[in-house]
Structures are given as structure tokens and as C-alpha cells.
Structure 1
Amino acid sequence: MTTRTEPSSARTAERRSWLREHSELGVCVLLLVLGVLVLTDALTMDVDIAQRGPVGPKTVPVVVGTGLLVIAALLAVDVLRGGRGQAEGGEDVDLSEPADWRTVLLLAGIFLGTSVLIEPLGFPAAGALLFWGAAFALGSRRLDRDPLIAAALSLVTYVVFDKLLGVPLPGGPLMGVL
């Protein structure tokens, strides 16, 4: 009786085929890593404040981390039993078209500019530039309307977060005037 050995390239192709058919396992690994990270961070959290009831500051991260681990395990079992994710029917993306790098780079520049300008200008002004720049990068060319909408949206966001929710945002020099 002779044993037949497969060539190395055939085994590699078979392994790639198996991984391609079970690509959802990558999502399982990502969920597992995130769950372990969240649980580790939650369980090593140094809490200085006194707990005023059964729910402390560690509760939500522990629940979320545990949920991530459970979902990762359930998804892995489903994938290994032959389950497959359904293709999204409403997706309207033409994969033969190249990426729109101009838009991506414009948005990245706008976000970087906002992060640099938020301290000296304050959130209302930097946020208005962010909202208007993002609208421009995504194709809006209404120069009469877009800056006004961006300024209003930025100011409302500033008031809601800074004044109503108590999340401190830099006001900048314009807030001294208002």
C-alpha cells in the first residue's frame, strides 16, 4: 500500500479555499480581541469613587466585554457549522470603479485641520469649518447656504454639549463676544 502525498501547492490552495469560505472567522477573532481588551481594561480599572449602589463604573464595560466574547463564540460556531452571512441586497457599490481618493484626502485634511484649529479658534468656528468642509468634500457646492448651515449646526452642537450636557468644549475668542 502506497501513500499518495499531495503537492505543497495543492495543500496551500485547499487551505486558502477553506479560509475564503470561512472568512467570517476574521470577524470572530476581531470580536474576541475586543472583548478581551474591554474586559481586561474593566477589571484592572482603578476606581477611587465610592459606589452608591449595585451598579458601579465597572459594570457596563464588563457586560459589554462579556457580550463581545459570547457573540464571538456564537458566530464562530455558526460559521464552522456552515452558516454564511447574507449579501446585502441594497448595496449600490460598483466594485469595478476605483476609489475616490480626492474625497478621502480632502476629508482627512479637513479632520486634521479641525484638530489643529479647535484650540485657537474654539469649537464653534473650527466645527463650522469642519461641517462646511465635509459638505464641500462630499460634493455640495452651495456657497450661499452651506456655510450658514455649518455655522448654525456647529453653534447648536457647542451649546448642547458645553452648556446643556456639561461636556467642556473650547469656546475660543468668539464665545467672549457672544
Structure 2
Amino acid sequence: MHEEFNALTKQHTWYLVPKPEGVNVIRCMWLFRHKYRNTGDLQRYKAPLVANGKSQQVGIYCDETFSLVVKSATIRTVLSIAMASSDGLRDRILSQLNAEFSMTCLGKLSYFLAISLQRTPNGMFLCQKKYVEDIIQRANMRHCKPVATSVDTNSKLGASDGSLVADPTLY
């Protein structure tokens, strides 16, 4: 928790101001959880600070909340760093990024945003099997029987408007 608090302070995520009268204060809370390696071993403890939605009022301050959304450019950057052809290139990229952002190098990327990453001779293989298994476990559906679901793999996006073009007689 102290590490997270210090990181948020160092990044100037907020600054303290006196509470104006008549203003609804949106409280925050620490969420304590564990971060595991892809082997299942405990890697470290995490304690992100999040807004407590129960203290919000519908229609008030809702446009001022922060939501963690990763931009596709960020994902491409992280995957590019992971696939850098040499350690020297990766180190140069990380040192340039570290000049702007506080970062910790945790070694070679193997799991990112619930996506498992495996390097292959042709590039990388991305898989969300563990993520799906975690969802099934949380929903208490681990012992449910699987059911085949037909999928039309020949469907194409339309050229002009992006709508799905499919032959309904295939179903």
C-alpha cells in the first residue's frame, strides 16, 4: 500500500485541497489482492487505490471519475518491447520510457492484461485461456459440461458500412 501511495504521489496523480462546502466527497478504498506468476507462484501483493462508487450520486460527478482503460497504442508498445530483437534494443526503449514514467522491470513479458504471451520462432502467441478459466471458476461453472456452439467462420465484414455479411441459411 505504501509503494502504491508513493507511486501515485510521485506521479502527481492528485494534490490536496481544502474541501469546499456543499461538495460531495467521493471516498476511495484500497483493494488488496495477490499477483501471481504464470507458474501460479505468488509474485507480489498489490494494493490499488480505487474510487468507492457507493459515495457517488447518480448524475453528479459521474463525468469526473477515472477509469482504467488501456489504449491500443500502449498495448502495441508493450508488445513491441517484449518482442525487441535484442536485450540492448529493449533496454534503450525502456530507458527512454523510464525518463517519462516511473517503471519497474519485472523481466521478460509472459502475462499482460489477462493475456498470456509465448514467444515462437515466428513471433508471439497470445492466449486468454487462463483468463477464461478464471471467469469460469468465479462463476462456479468449473464442473459444467461444455456444449458445442456453431460458429460461421466464413462471415465477412461488409466493404462499405462495416456491417456483418452472412448467409442466414447456413444456420
Give the TM-score band, short-chain normalised: under 0.3
The TM-score with structure 2 as length reference comes to: 0.20
**Rg (Cα) greater in structure:** 1
Q: Greater helix percent: which structure?
A: 1
